[in-house]
């Protein structure tokens, strides 16, 4: 992949153009979108007694997805029975005691939400058709397939069988513990996203996911295909104050940095990392920054890498319809950067900004006007970032 500037590598489509063409004739049922997700935060739901893998907690997350305007809720590990004991492959045809998947699907449907279910890949071994037929009958939208950790010939063959079988049953796919993209999302458009990245989940047990790592990932992993990083951590602290913990993990970046990742990291299925309670204030209002999460799309019509310094900071703009979105992040160094606005074309534009505030959790949200072809000066806090939305006047 070649570009005149490092940040312009995000515009490169070589991996997708070298892929085999789509093997799915009718793709009208394939819908990208954002999702609620409970695993990272430990299924936190303070208003639910004994919150965890039970119907009341799942309904709480579905309610959150509906109120946020999210298309999906991803139910992660813990919903299926394990007849041979913990640590063994789950029986993904049989929910755990008290879990009624069709009832959850119907509850979600009434709120404009659809359900994804988690499975380890060995639970599918030898019975892909049976599992996917059952999940389709339940009304499940997608499957998150986990714990593969390999990229040998046998596993690549499994990817093809999985994606083709899921397409026949109109089920969407996200693969975790996956190798990095090789263009399979072009061949099987129901393959919305994959891991192949050290994402926000590592904040539960390590100090590895720094702001500098996020910048480097934007220049590297994010240039080759969808990545299920799960942005949106709203418990923002400085690196000095950070300690790995679960439930309720923290992140070592500002809240505006987390918002910018929704633009920087491509993923047609984007799961919000945090629990519903993290996106509300103590008095029940939406927290600052949620307005951006509700509007930002997950697929794009055009991408421009507009500015940056390799490994230090980056700014990327993406267009959806008539709107442009821009995300900028920096490493552990605070800096003021000048962003060229030539990507806007012509005319005057209204810009909404979600920028770093006085603390890691605060957001400076404001609205202004800019001229296409001009420049926008942005101050990024250490470990910080900024997110923008542009509409032509």
CA angle 148, 221, 201 (to 5 degrees): 55
How is residue 375 written in tokens? Answer: 């420049």
Q: Which residues of 350-384 are buried (b: 16+ CB within 10 A; e: fewer)?
A: ebbbbbbbeebbbbebeeeebebeeebebebbbbb
What are 188's two structure tokens?
């099987």
Which helix (H) or strand (E) segment holds residue 370: the answer is strand 363-371
Q: In the chain, count H helices and then E strands.
A: 9, 17
Task: Answer for the pair 146, 120: CB distance below 8 angstroms, yes or no.
Answer: yes
What are the distances in angstroms from CA 242 to CA 15, 150, 204, 236, 384? 37, 32, 11, 9, 15
Q: Tell me the three state secondary structure of residue 172.
A: strand
* Cα-based distances in Å from 160 to 187, 191, 299, 315: 9, 10, 23, 35
Contact by Cβ (8 Å): 149, 124:
no
Angle between helices 153-168 and 128-138 in degrees, nearest 10: 30
Catalytic positions, written as ranges:
146, 201
Q: 254 with 230: CB under 8 angstroms?
A: no
Can the peptide bond before residue 127 be classed as cis, meaning omega within 30 degrees of 0? no
């Amino acid at each position: 992949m070649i570009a005149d500037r490092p940040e312009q590598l995000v515009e490169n489509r070589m991996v997708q153009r070298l892929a085999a063409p789509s093997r799915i004739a009718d793709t009208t049922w394939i819908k990208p979108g954002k999702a609620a997700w409970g695993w990272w935060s430990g299924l936190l739901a303070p208003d639910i007694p004994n919150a965890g893998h039970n119907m009341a907690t799942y309904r709480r997350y579905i309610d959150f997805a509906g109120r946020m305007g999210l298309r999906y809720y991803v139910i992660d590990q813990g919903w299926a029975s394990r007849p041979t004991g913990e640590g063994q492959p789950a029986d993904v045809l049989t929910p755990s005691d008290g879990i009624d998947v069709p009832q959850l699907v119907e509850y979600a449907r009434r709120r404009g939400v659809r359900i994804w279910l988690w499975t380890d890949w060995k639970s599918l071994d030898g019975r892909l058709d049976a599992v996917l037929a059952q999940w389709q009958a339940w009304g499940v939208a997608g499957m998150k397939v986990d714990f593969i950790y390999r990229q040998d010939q046998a596993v690549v063959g499994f990817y093809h069988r999985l994606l083709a079988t899921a397409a026949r049953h109109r089920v969407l796919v996200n693969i975790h513990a996956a190798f990095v993209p090789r263009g399979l999302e072009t061949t099987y458009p129901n393959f919305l996203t994959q891991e192949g990245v050290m994402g926000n989940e590592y904040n539960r047990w390590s100090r590895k996911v720094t702001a500098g790592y996020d910048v480097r990932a934007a220049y590297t992993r994010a240039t080759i295909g969808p990545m299920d990083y799960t942005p949106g951590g709203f418990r923002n602290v400085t690196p000095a104050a950070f300690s790995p913990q679960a439930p309720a993990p923290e992140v070592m970046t500002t809240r505006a940095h987390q918002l910018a990742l929704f633009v920087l990291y491509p993923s047609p299925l984007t799961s919000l990392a945090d629990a519903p309670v993290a996106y509300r204030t103590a008095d029940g209002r939406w927290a600052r920054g949620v307005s951006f999460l509700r509007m930002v799309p997950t697929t794009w019509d055009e991408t421009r890498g507009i500015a940056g310094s390799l490994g230090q900071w980056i700014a990327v703009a993406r267009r959806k319809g008539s709107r442009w979105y821009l995300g900028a992040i920096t490493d552990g160094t605070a800096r003021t950067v000048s962003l060229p606005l030539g990507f806007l074309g012509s005319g005057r534009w209204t810009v909404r900004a979600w920028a770093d505030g006085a603390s890691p959790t605060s957001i400076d949200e404001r609205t202004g006007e800019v001229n296409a072809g001009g420049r926008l000066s942005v101050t990024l806090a250490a470990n910080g970032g900024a997110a923008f939305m542009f509409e032509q006047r």
